[in-house]
Structure 1
Amino acid sequence: MGRWDVRRVTARRRALGLWSLGAMLACGDGGSDRVRIADVTADRAASDKHGALDETSLARATGGAAYVVSAVAAPGVIIGRVTGAPARDTMITPTKDVEVCSPFSESVVASTNGGVGNAAVWLVGVASGPRDDAPRRARLTLNGCRLEPRIQRVALGGTLMVNGRDAMMSRLQFTAVGPGERSRATLLFSDVGQIVPTSGPAASPALVRVSDDLHPWIQAWVLVSPHAFAAVTAPDGTFRFDHVPPGKYQLVIWHEYLGVQHTAVRVEPNVQTNVEMAY
């Protein structure tokens, strides 16, 4: 493929609630750099952290066109890391079914070495590229009065196998978040070991919230993307997109507690773009 250049994009918080974006492109062997500065809005208000997904939602991630699986000539790579928020643990004290549900500590911001884990990341504006490798059959487990995993990817059109291991009644709701929130599925659990498959949550692109009508502290998230360029950050905040078609995109980062932020990213042929976003 030839030699790779490296581009770096960074975002840092400003006092006025904007993010400063600096983009640096290493130009071959010449040693010269171009530096471009732009402002990137950051919405971290809890009241609007879902509504902010309107213009950059997964439903619009392909720009309104159907995603086409095709080979990518001279693709780029995006390697990113989300940082800046310390780990936060919340003590959950159940008030219902206490004979089954014991108090437990829940990490609302998974964090390792300053990185923010469990954040959803995706590109907006990608119309073609490689086939999505997200699992077509994924598992969600209700165990110990909590859902595991907290957030995961499921392929568009895939099936979620939901396993209820607790000896209690639960009614799980699957709701696509954002403007015009709507239910995608409702599952009722009453038997220990009950497994229920559902394809409703992954019927179309969306960020889907899973909640329990009977136990309000129980929730999880499902990320359903129309293309291959979506990820959940690792505990150290890292993510990676390979085989990205050259072009200009919006990179969206969402976290259930920290909210939404997005930035413009330009991917060039055979260029590795490093992105750092800080809450």
Structure 2
Amino acid sequence: MKLRTLGVTVLGAVGLAALPACMNEEAAPPPRPAVRPAPVREKVAPKPEAPPAAEPAPQPLTGGGTIRGAVSFKGVPPSAAAVPPSEDPACDGMASSEQSVRVKNGKLENVLVRVRGLLPVPRPTQPALIDQHQCTYQPRVQGATVGQPILIKNSDGTLHNARALAGTKSIFNVAQPPHGKAVQRNLPADVELVRLKCDIHPWMTAWVVVNANPFFATSGADGSFAIEHLPAGTYTLEAWHETLGTRTAEISVKEGETVSASFEFSADAKASASGGVK
């Protein structure tokens, strides 16, 4: 009897001892599933934005008629003032006299001849180029259409600056390092005549005549000029010179034909000649 009691007691003790262990096992949380690390995504560089589509170049003008002519000078040309020689070696080869009135064999150079008025034709998008070579603006006189930019280049191995003026009002002033990068500028839409000058070399001058249409030309050393692909019609033709003023003529152009025009200037400001058409 004592032995049975002792056995029960021992079993009870063992069972009580094992009970907390069982309770601990039951209370233990179930193991969490292994968490796989998220795959590392390679950083993709953002695609560069596509540049804005370039404005298509206007189709070249075709058809129409042509104006050909010459600009002459009557009388004795005014004496050109001497330009002091420059000590800048980059200026070697520059003209030794003022170049506003250039007459050879009675023909006048650097006269801008243009058709006045607005015409429904494409306008050039390429800039009008002005170069600085041997301390001289080249060309001295040229035309540009409204909205057409100008590109200023320095081909000299010396410093220039290009100051643009409309009358006495400054439009812009840009430095031009020796053989530096060309600089492009837009002209105000309401400006018709722009003068360029260099403050470092004060004899340097150029003119840009801004026109409402692309029908213009500058007379060459022989006084000649040509305006092509002008739509048929009747127009006012104007010849402009930087110191001698303007001359005008009425002209009619027919499709596929060439018409002649001539202009005459003189040193006499009271000259009555206003140009002519042949």
Q: Give the alignment's TM-score, normalised by structure 2.
A: 0.59
- Structure 1, unpaired ranges of 5+: 1-67
What does residue 174 of structure 2 align with?
A: 187
What does residue 3 of structure 1 align with?
A: none
State the distance in 1 between where 2:134 and 2:228 align.
37
Contact 2:98 2:203 in 1 (8 A): no
Q: Give the alignment's TM-score, normalised by structure 1.
A: 0.59
Distance 1:222 1:166, change over 3 A: farther
Contact 1:139 1:163 in 2 (8 A): no
Deviation, structure 1 residue 186: 1.0
Alignment of 1:22-101 (within 5 A): 75-85=64-74, 89-93=80-84, 98-99=87-88
- Cα RMSD of the aligned pairs, angstroms, is 3.4
State the distance in 2 between where 1:266 and 1:224 align.
23
Alignment of 1:182-221 (within 5 A): 182-189=169-176, 191-201=177-187, 206-221=192-207
What does residue 248 of structure 1 align with?
A: 234
Is residue 2:120 matched to residue 1:128? yes
**Counterpart among 148, 164, 180 of residue 157 in structure 1:** 148
Q: Deviations over 1:151-170 (max 9, x none)?
A: 234454234132162534x4
State the distance in 1 between where 2:65 and 2:138 align.
33
State the distance in 1 between where 2:263 and 2:83 align.
30
Q: Which structure has the higher relative contact order (CA within 8 Å, separation 6+)?
A: 1
1:92 maps to amino acid: V
State the distance in 2 between where 1:71 and 1:217 align.
37
Aligned residues between the structures: 202
Distance 1:200 1:183, change over 3 A: farther
Q: Deviations over 1:170-229 (max 9, x none)?
A: 43211235xxx643321123x322233122248676332101234432211223333221
What does residue 275 of structure 1 align with?
A: 261
1:246 maps to amino acid: A
State the distance in 2 between where 1:172 and 1:71 align.
32
Contact 2:128 2:148 in 1 (8 A): no
Distance 1:275 1:99, change over 3 A: closer
Distance 1:186 1:267, change over 3 A: same
